[in-house]
Amino acid sequence: IGISDATHQLPKTYGLLQNYPNPMNTTTKIPYQLPRTEKVCLKVYNVAGQLVKTLVNEIKKPGYYTTYWDGEDENGRKSAGAVYFYRIQAGNYTSTKKMILLR
C-alpha cells in the first residue's frame, strides 16, 4: 500500500490549535502538531493556575495529533463549569489557549 506524500506531509512547525467544541459540555478535542520527535506535556489548568488534568505526558513522533478532555480532573471528578487553560510544552515550544466548560 502506497502513501501519498501530498496527503501525509509532516508539519513544518509546532502548533496548538483551538479546542472544539468550545464552549464544551462533555468532551472537547484539542489538536496539536509536532515537526519532530519531542517529549510532549499537554495539561489543563484552572484560572488560578492549578493543574486540573494531564492529557499528554510522553514522547511523540512528528505528526498531527488530537487529544481529548472529558471535563474531569486527575481524580475522575467532574470539573465545575468555568474558564480553563490548556498548555503544551514540546522542546522549546510552549503555547497556551483558553476554553470554556459549561455545566
Q: What is the pLDDT of residue 38?
A: 97
Domain boundaries, the chain: 15-101
CATH class of the domain at 15-101: mainly beta
Read off the pLDDT of each residue in 63-70 and give the average, rounded to a whole number. Answer: 98
Q: What is the pLDDT of residues 74-87, one digit of tens each?
A: 999 999 999 999 99
Q: What is the pLDDT of residues 57-66, one digit of tens each?
A: 999 999 999 9
78, 60, 80, 64: which is closest to 29 by C-alpha?
64
Q: What is the pLDDT of residues 45-56, one digit of tens each?
A: 999 999 999 999
Q: What is the pLDDT of residues 4-39, one digit of tens each?
A: 444 578 999 999 999 999 999 999 999 999 999 999
Q: What is the pLDDT of residue 4?
A: 46
2 pLDDT more than 80: no
Distances in Å between the alpha carbon of 92 and those of 23, 52, 58, 70, 76?
Answer: 29, 23, 15, 28, 31
